[in-house]
Structure 1
Amino acid sequence: MLCVVIEVPYLVALIFRTKGLCTSRHGIRAPLEKTYSINRDMYSLLLDCCKRYQKNLTHIFTLNCHHDFTDSDYVAFDEKGFVTRIKIRIPSLFRDEYDRICAPAYDDENDQYALLDLIEFFAQNIKDISERWNNERYRNYQTIDCHNSSDVFENFQETINEIFTESGLLYELTDEKIIERIVENSPLTTEIENNFAAVHEVGTRELLKDAVALYKTPNPTARQDSVEKIWDALERLKTYYTTLDKKHSSEKIVNDMANGNDDFADLFNNEFKVLTDIGNKYRIRHHETDRIDITDVRYYDYFFNRCLSLIALAIQYLM
């Protein structure tokens, strides 16, 4: 009888590269649940992916070794140094009772965003390597040669994003080597982001850039900051025309948006006023005790996108 043994990492990669499975093709499989929550199985797959690329961090964690029998020096990956550095850099990353980085058990509490931080650390630091035996006949030891190139990032990015997709996780490792959350049916488009980047007034442009970055940040604690930033951008936008005072600058923006139509001028004036009132009444730009707390994190996306819609329209009429 022929027995075939497949290594686990290869099997995992094979599973995630298999397209068009039978149940998917014939509509038998239940729709994949989309989520921001990383369960234990997802965590394990993502962590295993990082571990497979550990040696690509050797340029940072270099262990200089000596082989006594051949009296030769060689380079290996310093795993102890890596674990110590990560413990300082990402202190909330889950560890077992022996202080080893590992996947949590099903009942273990863990900080899933610390795992995303680890993935970003790998993405931003991995470099190409080559490994070679000192002697092809005797193979006493392997040494690692580190290169300045980072072509390996594309492979790492593809594998991480395949796990995200296949698991239904609404995250993406971007070409900028950061993880962003995916907001389905979001009004924030690439075109809007490009328009924001083209805003001439530096302060408004930077506030919009920061607001969008915080909006995409996976950790929900960034939601409040994203809303605060975009409201700050709205208020600064009102003073866009620096040769005019705030009142007349706002009037010019609204009139340009309305194209001389009084009905739309009233509509946009009212929307600016309503958003200003929301920013003052709720705990968005001000944090006094008499402000209304936003008690559900999901409300932040509503507030952000409502303010975004008005700004995205307004900047199309800026001169």
Structure 2
Amino acid sequence: MTESAFYSDRAGLGRARVSETISAEAWAGLTALIQQRIDDGALARAFPLYACPDDPGRNTITGTDEEKFLRSLTTHVPDLIEPPAAPDPGEDGKSAEIAFGWPSSASHVAEPRRSPLDPDKVPDTATALDLVDFVALHIDQPTRRSSHNWNFDHTHFSFRQHDSSYDTELTPGQDQLRHDIDLLFARNGIAYTVGDDMRVRRLGPTEARPLISEFSPATGDSQLDNKLKDAMARFLSREPADRRDALEKLWDAFERLKTLELGGGSLKKSSASQLLTRAASGSEPFRALLEAEFKTLTGIGNDFTIRHHEHDKEDVPTDAASDYLLVRLTSVVSVVLRHTGRMAS
């Protein structure tokens, strides 16, 4: 693990990463970080500006076209734009024209909208994280910067040629963005990060993080492994609906887990019994504990709207309750898989 640059983190005094809301401070930091990427050319490959007067063929990138970037951003993340205010009626009784987009010098146009990167206008958390996803999708890092003073001082940017369909490693620009976003979120106690796929994901509850990070099933049953991995991926999604789906996936996997020893069908109970015996490692009290937990968790899956959705079933009341149930079942599944040699080392 890389040591933090901040003393408070090294001394164990940093903020716990438990907040799933982007604070005003975190938003201000995000907008500054992204503006820096606009200014230093890290977004110039995707949104190139061609302003060199010595290059009429427009082949030399001289920076990021900020207007093009902002227009594309607000097309993909429209909630960053405030809805237009109601127009004031003109002297003739007709509504005055409202500006769309960026500031206009026309005197008859209403007050222009704020920039979507206004550090003082904090959007909802989902919108702020969509912004991170958008920037992560387009980030790159110039491989070369050279000064050119023809007509006026400006910079020429060059980029490495790569094919995203073949390149699987992160570019230096992507890696640096991940690091900077994670540091920003960590310093502000935000429980999100940017994953290896350059998409924002949640870290999950503090108590679940070691369990999830080390959860690598190798059961010999590819369908079961896929269900378990899918449940974990959905659990780390920032979308509540995905996390509810994670419960269903995990409980489905739990039922399949019970058939690992002897196969499915009528042998399910015998298989589950043998599985518990192996997982208990010769301890009858621990086997009884596991058996009771299996029974309780089976009941939870049947009584709540996890495996069944009839009107007489209870909804899981909150996201926190969903997290608790998923962590509880994952803990048991993890113990059983490890004790029966079905977890990758």
1:125 is matched with which residue: 138, 154, 171?
138
The aligned residue for residue 301 of structure 1 is 323
Alignment check: 8 A CA contact 2:73 2:134 kept: no
Residues 309 and 18 (structure 1), Cα distance of their counterparts in 2 relative to 1, 3 Å cut = closer
The aligned residue for residue 102 of structure 1 is 117
1:38 aligns with 2:22: yes
Q: Output the CA distance in 1 between the equivalents of 2:155 and 2:275.
A: 67
Shift of 1:87: 3.1
Alignment check: 8 A CA contact 1:215 1:226 kept: yes
Shift of 1:50: 1.8
The aligned residue for residue 152 of structure 2 is 139
**1:158 alignment partner, SS class:** helix
Q: Output the CA distance in 2 between the equivalents of 1:163 and 1:70.
A: 39
Shift of 1:49: 0.8
1:212 aligns with 2:196: no
Percent pairwise identity: 24
The within-5 A match list for 1:272-291 is 272-291=294-313
1:58 aligns with 2:44: yes
The within-5 A match list for 1:121-200 is 121-129=134-142, 130-133=144-147, 135-136=148-149, 138-139=151-152, 141-148=154-161, 150-183=171-204, 185-189=206-210, 193-200=213-220
TM-score, normalization by structure 2: 0.72
Structure 2 unaligned segments of length 5 or more: list them: 85-112, 163-170
Q: Output the CA distance in 2 between the equivalents of 1:242 and 1:193.
A: 30
Shift of 1:146: 2.1
**1:273 alignment partner, SS class:** helix
User: Which structure is higher in helix share?
Assistant: 1
**2:42 alignment partner, SS class:** helix
Q: Output the CA distance in 1 between the equivalents of 2:145 and 2:28.
A: 26
State the one-letter code of the partner of 1:89: H
1:316 aligns with 2:338: yes
Bigger Cα displacement from structure 2, 80-89 vs 265-274: 80-89
Shift of 1:278: 0.5
Q: Give the number of aligned pairs.
A: 295
State the one-letter code of the partner of 2:19: T
Q: Output the CA distance in 1 between the equivalents of 2:209 and 2:56.
A: 61
- 1:20-43 per-residue CA deviation (whole Å, 9 max, x = no partner) reads 48xx9999x997795222122211
Structure 1 unaligned segments of length 5 or more: list them: 1-16
Alignment check: 8 A CA contact 2:277 2:287 kept: yes
Residues 205 and 36 (structure 1), Cα distance of their counterparts in 2 relative to 1, 3 Å cut = same
The aligned residue for residue 66 of structure 2 is 79
Shift of 1:118: 2.3
Q: CA RMSD in A?
A: 3.4
Shift of 1:160: 1.6
The aligned residue for residue 256 of structure 1 is 278
